[in-house]
Structure 1
């Protein structure tokens, strides 16, 4: 096992040899450490609980990181082109779920920003999720207490709503799902 050179381009075969948690996007290695903050983990936990309660794992399954999502230019996932670990993945196609993660686009992805991941979440991951057809992409920003909800329309994300702390954030694809942002960000530290 080894660690990648973050200045070089890599392949999935390289990714298989790396120690620790890494993402591979457009050949670039992204380290998933250091550990997230308490607020980040609180927000992920609250969203996971709310989604699991709403969906009940009946036709959609909710996964929390670390959970690998594999994207491939071809229909074969033996050698994927990209590997991400979204904070939350909602998968509504059971045939995409395997013992090692999700092969293809989840229906919904939620990323909770950390200072070290914000640019990647707004840029590389935004473009990747859009390209591969993630129907809804939430970017949760605990620092600014906002949630950006992006919905796929005609192959491109259209920013549907920017929710602030006074709002209840609503999903575009799970019509009855909403969560109060004041509760979501209410961790006293």
Structure 2
């Protein structure tokens, strides 16, 4: 781990130094890479975070089970663009409807739906870097779950931008923009 910290420190002092997927593949722990910048995924998620992920995973797996789409939960590497060696992420939940994106060690290609559950250590990255990354990569729908405020923000891609937005709370039903037959009661997801 000290070796990794030193490599990051040295890279931060070098101008325009970007890491590749190959660079981080041998590092200990869980890492994401966004535009060549490594992010350590080591902090353990909270109980609320894990409960929400499990409930959403169950709801999504139940819905997509017979549709041909596949649901994955972190840690699972997603390389959104096969030509981009500077970006690989581990969304909390990802849904892929194109089987050719699924490779033995990761998904290579754009997910149809990505869910990120906010935590104090990831909220800014999920709202900024990942929001922009998913939007420019063409992820059709992006859900941001806020366990503190008990809300889920749903963004849908329209003409290359996340322009459709819905915010749901505990007493609401989430309706997917992209998967029109998908609706989830929020009580079981957001209430512990």
TM-score of the aligned structures, taking structure 2 as reference length: 0.89
Q: Which runs of 5+ in 2 are unaligned?
A: 13-17
Aligned residue-pair number: 183
The answer on 1:33 being equivalent to 2:42 is yes
Query: Counterpart in 2 of 1:88?
Result: 93
Instruction: Tell me what 2:15 maps to.
Output: none
Task: Give the TM-score of the pair, scaled to structure 1.
Answer: 0.91
- C-alpha deviation, 1:106, in angstroms: 0.5
Asked if residue 68 in structure 1 is aligned to residue 48 in structure 2, the reply is no
Gaps of 5+ in 1: none
Residue 54 of structure 2 is matched in structure 1 by 45
Between structures 1 and 2, the one with greater strand share? 1
- Whether 2:167 is the aligned partner of 1:155: answer no
State the match for 1:116 in structure 2: 121
Question: Which runs of structure 1 show a deviation greater than 3 angstroms over 4 or more consecutive aligned residues?
Answer: none
Name the counterpart of 1:167: 172
Q: Does 1:134 align with 2:135?
A: no
Check the 8 A contact 1:11/1:27 in 2, yes or no.
Answer: yes
Distance, in Å, in 2 between the alignment partners of 1:57 and 1:67 is 22
| C-alpha RMSD of matched pairs (Å) | 1.6
**Aligned residues of 1:71 and 1:103 also touching (Cα < 8 A):** yes
Kindly state the Cα deviation for residue 169 of structure 1 after the two structures are TM-superposed: 1.0
Choose between structure 1 and 2: higher helix proportion. Answer: 2
Question: Which of the two has higher C-alpha Rg?
Answer: 2
Give the Cα–Cα distance (whole angstroms) in 1 for the partners of residues 180 and 164 of structure 2: 17
